Structure 1
Amino acid sequence: MGILPTVEDVAVAAGVSRQTVSNVLNSPAIVRAETRERVEAAIAELGYRPHASARRLRTQKSSTIGIRLDPITTDGISGSILDRFLHALTEQADAKNLRVTLFTAPDPEAEIRQFQRLSDGADVDAFVLTSTFYGDQRTEWLIEHGHSFVTFGRPWGIDDMNDPKHLWVDVDGRDGLEQATSHLLSTGARRVGYIGWPSPSGTGDDRRRGWLETMQASGGLGDEVLRTLSVATEDGVSFGADAMRRLEAASGGVDAVACASDSLALGALMATAGRIPVVGYDNTPVAASIGFSSVEQPLDEVAAGVLELLTGAHGGRVHSGSDAVADPRHRLVKPRLVVREFRPLGAGAPGA
């Protein structure tokens, strides 16, 4: 077994000091981009990996991120997005010599108790939160107690885009539904319906806004008609099927439907027997296997953004003073519409 490369080896290869290498590893935002790239190239070439236990002894930190393992959903579809995010986060954290600790909690109050337990025992250094909502008491507790954290999801209900109270990464759901609705309109559909979640729902309202603004901009239908083309329901396949039937009854018929999730989209397809185009959201394996279009969230980018905010200049905390850290306090990631050819039920079958 060969001798493992050291910080000194990396410094020599990159033509920098040991301290610069340390800065690249622990506070990359303070190092000039060209220098950082040179050091990172030397690290990759030499195969250097920091000694995690030694670093923990120096910093008195566990190098561990805590995140709740979400409950299993009844239909097993919608929950897959958080499973994929967790996989991406764990994989990228490992590459940075960070560990991820999973815990369970049935509700926000129980999750806060887990925060207290894990922080009191010095088991974790920071938390990642998912499924943010209006009046989220979890974030208020973490801010009040001075803990480092980043949320996957915006702090709904405050001026999150311009003056965020905490660090967050989110996927632009409004943009995703704009893409979905624009695609359906481009195929010749005129009456494009929408099935989403009851308001107030930060994520749901954001996605509905993308559909509504696109339909209004198309100029084909008035506000009264648009109101009949939108139905709210709980998430799930059966709820989506029922919502689709209600949508058609209230509107007098639709040409296509954009949905807030793949669960709702699958329900809509079942209710219509696949006779009209339906676009979902999350691009789950169900969308791929059945063959309907869906908006994909780039979860690798989300995970990378979360880790940047936790380990970079911010260190997982909002600093006092607007100019304390110049790096943006949030990352809004653009989703991508995955288009699959629409085939009405029975189309393309042998002999059809």
Structure 2
Amino acid sequence: MSHPATVADVALAAGVSRQTVSNVLNRPEVVRPTTLSRVQAAIDDLGYRPHASARRLRTRQSSTLGVRLEPVHGISGAVLDRFLHALVDSADERGMRILLFTATDVDDELAHIERLVEGSDVDGFVLSSTFHGDPRAAWLGTRDIPFVTFGRPWGLPDMDAAPHPWVDVDGRAGVHDATAHLLARGHRRIGFLGWPSPSGQGDERRRGWQDAMRASGLPEDAGLTCGDDVTAATATVADALRHGEGFDALVCASDTLALGARFALDAAVPVVGYDDTPVAEAVGISSVEQPLVEVASAAVELLMGAGRTVLPASTGHRLLAPRMVWRD
């Protein structure tokens, strides 16, 4: 085809009307599955791409998702950068753009969100770094602003029944598998280095270690805590060793903590981190890897369903499995 494919070209190839093609692009839920598959095949064969600006005028939507660009803390801060790249790719597949903004704290973030909504600059938001007492979900929910969170709604009595969509990675399962693997290799005095509680992600990862230790009938008293800082981690582990604590392996809630622990421990003691950052790869630290491409894809799907516009309201969740990367 010498010219870019049009809706008329797709309709002709699929043997349907142009209105049906429009429904497939904007309201696929009203199209019969067999017709939907036929039209989608024609779109793929012809390489058709909807005219974004025309669709924005027609639907009165911006085709844009807002995401806060958070400050990078510690080595594992690179995870959010990788997630953003994956999110841009997933959004682009639906004809959506990502608008990044910065904020000094949660209140400032909500102020930015309010301005973006009032200006009709975005159709919905992807929130990250959820925490206990996080006010953002309730604030957005009461205003009927579409959003999805990367991170569970910590503190709710039943997170699976949350009134808003969320996607997360099962850190408890990931750390459990890492600990179980170390146990299978004959290690018995396996410690855990995590963050002070309450910490949604940190507490879940600690529980994974506890589950594996209990299942083997071993004590779970070798738990340490400190802030997510390399120097603090080194000092915390070194202090435990000075007070007679002995480890033959150590599992950590982040690669930042794992790197600090590595400096304090004998080289023969296995250390496992979390997030599989470039630093962990460079230093040779085993780590739990989050499936960030799948997280981004699930976040967009929860916001948009099978269509190309943001749903007015949605619920549901995805809890994805991580995988271990062993380097020793």
Work out the CA distance in 1 between the residues paired with 2:39 and 2:240.
58
- 8 Å contact 2:261–2:271 — kept in the other structure? yes
Counterpart in 2 of 1:282?
275
Which digits, 9 at most, give the CA deviation of each residue in 1:299-349, with x for residues without a partner? Answer: 110000011011117945546xxxxxxxx6111111111111x2xxxxxxx
Q: 1:86 to 1:252 in 2, by over 3 A?
A: same
Counterpart in 2 of 1:243?
236
Counterpart in 2 of 1:4?
4
Aligned length, in residue pairs: 326
Q: Quote the offset at 1:162 in angstroms.
A: 3.0
Counterpart in 1 of 2:48?
48
Work out the CA distance in 1 between the residues paired with 2:168 and 2:303.
15
Q: 1:257 to 1:16 in 2, by over 3 A?
A: farther
- 8 Å contact 2:254–2:273 — kept in the other structure? yes
Which structure 2 residues correspond to residues 134-145 of structure 1 after superposition, within 5 A?
Answer: 134-145=132-143
Work out the CA distance in 1 between the residues paired with 2:33 and 2:193.
45
- 8 Å contact 2:160–2:317 — kept in the other structure? no
Bigger relative contact order (CA 8 A; separation at least 6) = 2
- 8 Å contact 1:30–1:313 — kept in the other structure? no
Which structure 2 residues correspond to residues 184-263 of structure 1 after superposition, within 5 A?
Answer: 184-219=182-217, 221=218, 225-227=219-221, 229-249=222-242, 252-263=245-256
Counterpart in 1 of 2:86?
88
Which structure 2 residues correspond to residues 36-185 of structure 1 after superposition, within 5 A?
Answer: 36-73=36-73, 75=74, 77-185=75-183
Question: If the length of structure 1 is used for normalisation, what is the TM-score?
Answer: 0.87
Q: 1:243 to 1:30 in 2, by over 3 A?
A: farther
- For residue 240 of structure 1, what is the amino acid of its counterpart? A
Q: 1:297 to 1:27 in 2, by over 3 A?
A: farther
SS of alignment partner, residue 133 of structure 1: coil
SS of alignment partner, residue 193 of structure 1: strand
Give the unaligned 5+ runs of structure 1.
Answer: 320-327, 343-352
Give the unaligned 5+ runs of structure 2.
Answer: none
Work out the CA distance in 1 between the residues paired with 2:7 and 2:244.
67
Which digits, 9 at most, give the CA deviation of each residue in 1:201-260, with x for residues without a partner? Answer: 1111111111101110112x2xxx412x10111102112212222443456301101111
Work out the CA distance in 2 between the residues paired with 1:17 and 1:164.
40
Question: If the length of structure 2 is used for normalisation, what is the TM-score?
Answer: 0.93
Q: 1:105 to 1:246 in 2, by over 3 A?
A: same
Q: Quote the offset at 1:21 in angstroms.
A: 3.0
Counterpart in 2 of 1:322?
none
- For residue 170 of structure 2, what is the amino acid of its counterpart? D
Task: Note if 1:334 corresponds to 2:327.
Answer: no
